[in-house]
Structure 1
């Protein structure tokens, strides 16, 4: 995971620009869903929702600027809540966090850019989705991220169910273009291991892929892999939404949806390393916690 500084400087620019481009493409695709969808809707409206963007600036412990990002949030008739956020931040890691980040134990300076998405649809038949890709630089450099699906109804919480199978096929295709470094089997197993609620002894959803500390020594190839993961999500998830957003639901299914969302909250607050990284590096609290579902219940 070591690197040539000149190469990394160029890669920082390319990666940051890509995350912005992917954000724009995803937001456009989701707004198209909002505009074109036919009911039923929880929230009646003459037209679909639109993203609202909100820039933020990161300040370090001494009040000095350390980069920032842009939040993009939408609440519409298809998506009860969806956030697509980008950030590029830099600074010095807190002492109690340095040993947890590769290359930071002896030199705590870091740089990180990425995109983070969480989508919570209104319709219980439509699955919640998460996607995050990032590029991190300390005295080492690497890519990380992935995408995963969380169906809300018990009838859909199986990897062989059509929506999840379609999603996994998209991730498999993205990985296959970068084999053997982009191993679907390895990253799928890693996803299942990572998105597992230890205290409940159950998976969070039906998985996808997860990778971290990804650095083959070919920086452009590693960035290309990360791009293909983002594009695979962009191709797969809107199609899954189209299959489900016009389905009728029952009140019992809405209750099941909100109860399952509680598992999402538990994982994000108790186990998610991305949430911890954002909080420990002085990230935007509103952006970090925007992944929380808008309505949740526990039995």
Structure 2
């Protein structure tokens, strides 16, 4: 199947890609505003700004798409990445066997999305991850979600107020969209973001969905947009809530050790990391999820 033969998806691909680009811009603006709001004595120096870098997939001999990487190291955000991509090409034969519709598309695919990982400096501010994407073979579907990773022991409880508020936002994104089952997506998140070698969760969860296709593309796209909007509202709010709290050296030490769990998960189990590497994605973007400082005791 050629790109011409997937013309039925052309308008939808353009619509989804434009949304992911817009969401990247919106979140970048909100995160830079947080940097502007950080003041002494807890935060010193210049407010962080995103370094935006365009990239192209492949060696340049043919158009295989690309994206825009956004990375910031600031006062509040020790490291945060907000990345947009739109890529296309052909899966390897082995990888194509794992992707719905790839057998009928001759292995050809198109994918676009936004991915985000935030590692705040203050141990009391939870880390967070979010991505939403659309993937097309001979079929088209959405995937993604958002999850929270508090890094201090007393915060890693489902009753902790930040987790309660974050889940409420994700549930609200689901509740107005038929087919978006919050309970199922919450369970999927808890199962997916789990470290089996340690028998522990990576964080306090959120929602996760993959191969989401109810048969109503417009409704599925509207749901994916709502997930992005809810995350763009709730997470900056949680950052502002906690960033004003002072922290101790012991809390910083605990944060750096818990970040090690994040590294272990992303390198061992994360399917998004695998997909990016197997489809020739931008290595800097893919591995920008790694925390800037981490410890293993």
User: 1:269, 1:40 → 2: CA distance?
Assistant: 36
Provide the residue aligned with 2:38 in structure 1. 37
Instruction: Give the TM-score taking structure 2 as reference length.
Output: 0.95
The CA deviation at 1:104 is: 1.4
How far apart, CA to CA, are the structure 1 residues paired with 2:91 and 2:7?
23
Query: How far apart, CA to CA, are the structure 1 residues paired with 2:279 and 2:7?
Result: 25
Shift of 1:94: 1.4
Cα distance in 1 between the residues matched to 2:18 and 2:26: 12
CA contact (8 A) 1:33 1:78 kept: yes
SS in 1 for 2:273: helix
Q: Distance in 1 between matches of 2:282 and 2:91?
A: 15
Match of residue 64, structure 1, among 41, 62, 65: 62
Call closer, same or farther: CA 1:39–1:131 in 2, change over 3 Å.
farther
Q: CA deviation at 1:7?
A: 4.5
Equivalent of 2:193 in 192, 195, 200: 195
Residue 271 (structure 1) aligned to one of 263, 269, 272: 269
Q: How far off its partner does 1:39 sit? A: 4.2
Tell me the number of residue pairs that the alignment of Structure 1 and Structure 2 aligns: 292
Q: Deviations over 1:97-146 (max 9, x none)?
A: 11111111352000000000000000000000000000000111100000
Aligned to 2:243: 245
Counterpart check, 1:118 vs 2:117: yes
Q: How does 1:1-12 map to 2 (within 5 A)?
A: 5-12=6-13
Partner residue of 1:284? 282
Structure 1 outlier segments of 4+, above 3 Å: 4-7, 38-41
SS of the equivalent of 1:231 reads: helix
SS at match of 1:125: coil
Q: Which moved more, 1:143-152 or 1:5-14?
A: 5-14
Give the TM-score normalised by the residue count of structure 1. Answer: 0.95
C-alpha RMSD of the superposition: 1.4
Q: How does 1:1-299 map to 2 (within 5 A)?
A: 5-41=6-42, 44-45=44-45, 47-59=46-58, 63-106=61-104, 107-179=106-178, 181-299=179-297
Tell me the secondary structure at the aligned position of residue 155 of structure 1: helix
* Deviation at residue 64 of structure 1 after TM alignment: 2.6
The offset of 1:219, in angstroms, is 0.8
Structure 1 unaligned regions, length at least 5:
none
What secondary structure sits across from 1:59 in the alignment? coil
Uncovered stretches (5+) of structure 2, i.e. residues with no partner = none
Q: Which secondary structure state, in structure 2, belongs to the residue aligned with residue 35 of structure 1?
A: helix
